[in-house]
Structure 1
Amino acid sequence: NLVRRDAELLSKLQDSIFCTDPDGTITYWNDGAARLYGWSALEALGRTLAERVGRGAACDVSERLRAVLGGSDYQDEWEDVRKDGSRVWVDVRLTRFDDADGRPAGVIGISRDVTERKLLEATMRRDARILAELHDAVICGDATGNVVYLNAAAERIFGWNRAELLGRRVHEPLPAASAVLVERLTRRALAGEATESVDFEHRRADGSGVWIAYRAYPLLDAAGKVTGTVALATDVTERRRAEAERRQLEQQLLHAQKMEIIGTLAGGIAHDFNNILTAILMYAELCLLEAQQATSLSEGLNEIKAACLRAKDLVQRILTFSRFQEPEPKPVDLRLVVKDACKLLRVMLPATLDIRVDLPERPTSALADANQIHQVLLNLGSNAAHAMQNTGELTISVRAIGLDAPLPVRGGVLLPRRYVRIAVIDRGHGMSDETLARIFDPFFTTKRPGEGTGLGLPIVRGIVQNHGGGITVESVPGEGSVFTVYLPAALTPSTQMAAVQAGQATPRGRGERILVVDDEESVAILTKTALDSLGYRATHVTSVEDFLRAFEASPSSYRLILTDQTMPRLSGLDLARRVRAAGHTIPIIIATGFSRKLTPEAVATIGHAARLSKPFELHELAVLVHDLLERRAE
């Protein structure tokens, strides 16, 4: 009974179990062996083991049996052949069993199907070879974020040694700026999120630099639980260099065209500017006469202020239009941009051409660089005037729209979302289909030699596409053309409109001490007087040396520094950096009439600082000083 019970138990095991006598003849063959090798017990019993097991193995099974009978256990894996000719990988273990007298009675063998494991191992070896040969870096981390694998490309791209990174967080060897970025992406991947690709510049240990596109993904088990992360990093240095060169060429092209248009504007601007200067001079003289008669000066002074603001606006438009700078998309009300561009168009174009502007009543904000949209409108307006031979009506309209379906545009397709649409409509000679197909080709022009370069419309399309927008053109020969520009709508209102809608009262100080630095003594005194009138206690100096003596004598007594940007020996930006290097966190305002170095990025590096454009109104100065002091108090 005991033997029968043991036999029943062995027959139910999943593993293959077989026994042989000392001659190698099979004496036991369970159901697992039948399933694994395909031979029934009836077909196996009485046969030699070599006839049923190890038929595809490279080793001699009979020789292995003799070694086991001699007292050596045996274990190996081989690819065997079933009865039906199919192949199977098996793990085989052989051991001797003895009779009651201790003499070898035979061999018992256990074999197991390991085909899936062998296939998995082969796949893993193949994947490992692929990962090792990839040009992209692959970095795997465990559930805590520690690195458990990195390929050769990761060592090459980052300049790492495998041993120094394994077991550490991937961001730990990185410089501070990129470490923060990589750590944030890793945390998102550990939270189950596949991140977008982010570019950053990395400095290797040997001092060489590389631009890297980095993204991270979660590794999930069958239940969807995050078990680790895998990060892919690509060396995009050449791509970034090519993009930088392309941007540089585009900027040079844009700047060259701006200079060409400035020549057209010069005559009209000189006329307008002389009128403004005349108004300032005349109102100043009238005020002097009034002063001699001890009468009120308010009306004349208001006119002087209005004339100065017009002069400021005109000068700013000239600087904005001619300034060489990177595009800075931000929420802007396109109604204001169109109005501003139309002022320039009215100066550029003959009085025989009527410009009609169709604008919505509500603010229409788009994410755009106002300077470049000016250029788009001036190009399209100039082309429209040429098409109408400088007579007739040019219409520019602005509308906020929503696209519910993709919209084909020149060179692409706009995806459904909110846009701001600008349409420039002329009633000129129109274009044929052949001309329409080529108008955005560089250097293609229908104008006579000397009238155009053929670069205007390609630049327009480039600007619009760089904004994430698109442009369409409709034209009928003899009737006119419609150029429609689509720009992504801004999710936040424009800062221009926000300032107008706020209706902010002029804030006043509470006796806070402010140090004013300007090498022009009259400007320094005027600024000090303005701050005093706002309730502050201002001290002015006219040189960097005087500033250093005054500030270093008692830095804690001052609450804010207001410095000019353009000064001998040390610029306002350098002065601010010197203050920060000394460990002072005092708010700093840098005022400038025009400086290419004083960019928003440069000011941002100072920290707790702001830029103030000259000339400025008292209210503008009051709000900026108050905001900086309030932010420091928080």
Structure 2
Amino acid sequence: MSTGSRATSRGGPGSRHVHPMVLPAVATSGLALLTLGAEPHLLSFGVIALGPCLAAVSGSPAAVFSIGVYATSLVVVVSTYQGLWGTWDQILRVAVTIAATVISIVIARHRRLLESNSAAAVKDQVMLAAVLEASSDAVYTATTEGTITTWNRGAEEIYGYTRAQAIGSSIQMLAPPDDGTALLAMFAEAAEGRRSEQIEVVRLNRDGGLFDVAVMLAPVRDTAGNVTAVAFIEHDVSARKRAGAKERAALERTQTAQRLESLGQLAGGIAHDFNNLLAIILNYSQFAAEQIPTDSEARDDLARVLRAAERARRLTHQLLVFARSERTEPAIIDLNDVVIEANDLFSRTLGGHIQLVTRTAEQPTTIIADRSSIDQVLFNLVINARDAMPDGGVLVMEVDHVEMAPDEVGYAPPPLSGRYIRLTVNDTGTGMSPEVVNRVFEPFFTTKAKHEGTGLGLATVYGIVTDAGGSIRIASEPHVGTTFSVVFPAAEVTGLPADVVADRPAGHGNGERVLVVDDDETVRELMVRILDRNGYKPVPAAHPEAALTLADEPFDLLLTDVLMPQMSGPELAERFKARQPDIPVLFVSGYTDGNAGVRRATGGILLHKPFTTESLLGSVQDALTGTGVPSR
């Protein structure tokens, strides 16, 4: 036996495969001996032809052909030995053997083809099983009754059940309690032989967590076409949906930021005209009040108009600060006054279901900060407290003095040690979890429903507080309430720098000639009237070109609006200084630093509209004496 005819069998290391020609050859030889001893004319000679038939079982056409040649040779030898050489009996015996060989070759070839197809099918099944096992998707099957029969590694990772735990269990364990009907409906369609479309559904893992999958169900049929099982193919799309949610949130934040930017641009655009109107209302109301007896009711009415105009001025300033379009104006303010004024406002607007309690300190509570910004801090904190008490409760605003230690816990940023003024806003509302507390100062983070909050309120509060050198702390407990504690460095009333003093006495002129340039006739006449009443000699100019025609006349001060149709104030100042290099310049503008969009001339100072008589005269005095802060 050749080397190729021997190989280790699957039965074990010691067993060997038998070559497919050996057994048919031995059998054919035995049949030839059996025929050799029989009568020549008996049909027993035909048993030799069984040799090729036996070889056909091996499935090897080559082996069948070899055995056929061998059997034919034996037929010739045996029939010749029996004295049948050249007879029809011998020819018939040879023909039968050859025919049996040909038929056996056809059978062997067909058998080999079947075996080859079967081996390929088995190989494909093994490959498919390996692919499904390696897949990160959950692939499993269940009987038509809903019992899980197979479970791949992807299903183990997604659901948390091992193969041993899942197989034999019901598919119902994978569905949320309120989603069983949908799962059964999909399963019933597949069990009836209909392949489902891919849809996204919610699934339940071993730990009770819910997650989203894209699932498709398909019937599994046997060779007769009958549905014997249902296959599930599920892909976890939770990460994709989270990424999509983050992308949508980022888009919403971008859109919100764009809306806020548009708000700032709009606010800056209307500021000039609106501040002009406020300047007119403030100053002409003051003019009228000066001409009315102190005991007149009309004087009281004008006083109310002045207070309303001042409130409108602060409101405009606050809007621009919020839109980051205007610089803040630090001044000495008393938090007691802020809380008292806020109490008057909130007592009328919070509603009867909320009890408002206000407590102030006995001693002055002065700090250095922008008044409008501090109003905004208190407003945002109170509104948040109100929203946290939809069913009513108690809201407390309190101001007191505190000494801060260097190791004070909970404040952000950590304050330095020293004396502080503390503003506390406490509510008995829904409270917040620690996770929410850790994120409340993040821009755009909000727990309110969509379109009910931008998530900028507390972020703005944090920015204002830190800009003022303060710190903030939150103490909150769900279903109990929330306390915001804001501390600002205490300020002494005496010895303050000039740039933080809110109001100062205005000086009077000594006949100084002031060229007043403003394209708004009413504002121009207002400034001329104030200057004329206070010892100056104002000369009005309706536009920059008219002002330049007077450039050769001696003036002590150029007072000009910043933005005018034909020429900007800074350009006018530069051209005017070419004629009178030493003339001081005072710019007046209703625009903010960021929205004016013009370059200010070197050496000029800036007065924001709306101005009062005192602020205008003070700025004129600063410009004439050179004590003002130059614009940059």
TM-score by length of 1: 0.46
Give 1 or 2: higher strand fraction.
Answer: 1
